[in-house]
């Protein structure tokens, strides 16, 4: 940044930074959240994200020089903070495959205005680094865990997951203060829907928040079909019969999960219902892929290449202007426009989830 801007951003203890020039898109949605994919590789092969038959041993993932460097990530994140971003989430692929991730977290945690710095992981590599993540400045962790049934979990991780290691990782993250832990569960009809109640029972009263996610038509390689979706309202009815719940408000503007609390005081659960109950109207998220493409929708079919600008000498003001222009023109609302017929055929070419996180 220019020195004048650096001075304007300096804060005394306890002050909150304000964006230099916050922006809202064509539908009046502000830019509050930035999701950063560190790499496109993963140690799982979940069929709904990276099916083994397509992401096999000969599949060519991004090479190191194709991925953004930490310096480049910090430059984009800084520009985003200047435009109103206060929440950053690190994703993948599997972000913990990046062995130096704590160095990046330390730098992101120092950015003025960041109120929430989180990470989404499958949990397999979490135990040995949980304390270091917290020490570096990470606030909280979300773990993708589709079942606590060993055979179901094994199948849904593409035969690569170890349930004991994931559960140990959740414990380690809690002990490191990276909570409340959130558990993301992708629910698929005939795959894990019959075991959801067992998972909820396991985490009830633990302080861990389970979020049930409708199987979404992200990308084009997961064989998505509408008849594989279990509507959130069906799950809610089933839960209500066993443990009465009531709706509670959002934690923050733009939160995608619909929250419910158990009436017996044993915590809360959430539903992310992009297919049957779209929430595009509140979406405040931008997504940065590992190779530097900025996407303004999880279901986008194109994005804006920031890596080229970064490596061709764009200064901080130019970078900020690029981000501002992208967001001001944004009018994405894929889930609201999705028709049953179109969804059934899953015909639009879209960016794969492993490139931009969930």
User: Which of the four pLDDT bands, split at 50, 70 and 90, describes residue 170?
Assistant: very high
Could you tell me which residues come within 8 angstroms of residue 99 by beta carbon, excluding any fewer than 6 positions away?
none
Q: Which residue has the higher pLDDT, 51 or 355?
A: 51
- Provide the pLDDT for residue 21: 77
CB 282 within 8 A of CB 347: no
CATH number of the domain that residue 128 is part of: 3.20.20.70
Q: Look-up: residue for tokens 């929440």?
A: 87
Is residue 272 situated within a structural domain?
A: yes
What's the CA gap between 63 and 307, in Å, rounded? 14
Domain that holds residue 329: 25-356
pLDDT at 235 exceeding the cut of 60: yes
Is residue 1 situated within a structural domain?
A: no
Is residue 13 situated within a structural domain?
A: no
Is residue 9 situated within a structural domain?
A: no
Domains held by the chain: number:
1
- Provide the pLDDT for residue 223: 66
Is residue 184 situated within a structural domain?
A: yes
- DSSP E strands: which ranges in 78-221? 87-91, 116-121, 140-144, 182-187, 209-214
Give the predicted TM-score (pTM) of the model. 0.88
Torsions phi, psi of 142, nearest 5? Answer: -115, 130
What's the CA gap between 341 and 81, in Å, rounded? 39
pLDDT at 60 exceeding the cut of 90: yes
pLDDT at 338 exceeding the cut of 90: no
C-alpha torsion 258→195→91→262, nearest 10: 30
Q: Which of 12, 16, 17 is nearest to 1 (CA)?
A: 17
């Amino acid at each position: 940044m220019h020195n004048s801007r650096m001075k304007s951003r300096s804060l005394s203890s306890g002050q909150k930074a304000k964006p230099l020039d916050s922006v809202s898109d064509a539908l009046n949605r502000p830019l509050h959240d930035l999701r950063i994919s560190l790499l496109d590789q993963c140690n799982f092969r979940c069929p709904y994200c990276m099916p083994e038959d397509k992401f096999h041993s000969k599949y060519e993932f991004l090479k190191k020089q194709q991925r953004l460097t930490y310096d480049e990530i910090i430059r984009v994140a800084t520009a985003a903070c200047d435009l109103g971003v206060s929440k950053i989430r690190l994703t993948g692929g599997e972000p913990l495959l990046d062995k130096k991730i704590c160095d990046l977290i330390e730098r992101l945690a120092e950015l003025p205005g960041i109120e929430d710095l989180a990470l989404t992981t499958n949990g397999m590599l979490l135990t040995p680094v949980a304390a270091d993540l917290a020490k570096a400045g990470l606030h909280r962790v979300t773990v993708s865990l589709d079942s606590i049934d060993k055979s179901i979990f094994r199948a849904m991780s593409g035969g690569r997951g170890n349930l004991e290691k994931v559960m140990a990782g959740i414990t380690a993250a809690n002990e490191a203060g990276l909570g409340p832990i959130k558990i993301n569960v992708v629910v698929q009809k005939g795959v894990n829907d019959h075991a959801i109640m067992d998972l909820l029972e396991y985490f009830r009263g633990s302080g861990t928040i389970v979020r049930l996610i409708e199987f979404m038509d992200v990308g084009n390689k997961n064989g998505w079909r509408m008849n594989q979706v279990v509507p959130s309202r069906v799950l809610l009815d089933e839960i209500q019969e066993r443990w009465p719940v009531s709706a509670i408000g959002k934690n923050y503007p733009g939160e995608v999960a619909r929250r419910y609390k158990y009436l017996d005081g044993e915590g809360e659960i959430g539903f992310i219902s992009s297919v049957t109950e779209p929430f595009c109207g509140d979406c405040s998220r931008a997504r940065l892929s590992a190779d530097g493409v900025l996407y303004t929708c999880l279901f986008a079919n194109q994005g804006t290449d920031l890596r080229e600008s970064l490596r061709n000498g764009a200064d901080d003001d130019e970078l900020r202007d690029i981000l501002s222009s992208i967001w001001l023109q944004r009018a994405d609302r894929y889930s609201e426009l999705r028709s049953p017929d179109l969804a059934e055929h899953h015909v639009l070419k879209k960016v794969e989830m492993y490139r931009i996180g969930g």
